Amino acid sequence: MSEFDTSFDFDGRRVPFRPGQTLGAALVAAGTTAWRTTRLEGRPRGLFCGIGVCFDCLLTVDGHANQRACLVVARDGMTALTQEGTGHDDT
């Protein structure tokens, strides 16, 4: 039995969170530290500034690319995806 009753979906797995926690905080608490790759060299990125300034912790939330994990407050049933590159179709 988990100590949380709320969770969101991250790349197909369940990540529990406390009410008020951001996606970034919940991911780090669950042991995930990277959820984006850089546009040019594909390097892993996660939280850096943690306060909405650096735009390093971007991921795709409910179909919207480039959301800052450190600012988006988790809601039950949300779907978050690792973001590769710009998060848009590079065509």
Smaller CB distance to other proteins: residue 79 or 86? 86
Dig out the tokens for 11 from the structure: 């790349």
Task: Tell which one of 2, 20, 63, 91 touches other proteins (CB under 8 A).
Answer: 91
List the one residue out of 89, 51, 87 whose CA is nearest residue 69: 51
Q: Which stretch binds other proteins (CB under 8 A): 3-11, 19-27, 69-77, 83-91?
A: 83-91
SS3 content of the chain, % helix, strand, coil (to 5): 10, 35, 60
Q: Examine residue 88 and tell whether it contacts other proteins (CB under 8 A).
A: yes
Dig out the tokens for 28 from the structure: 């780090």
Contact residues for other proteins, defined by CB under 8 A = 39, 55, 58, 65-66, 85-91
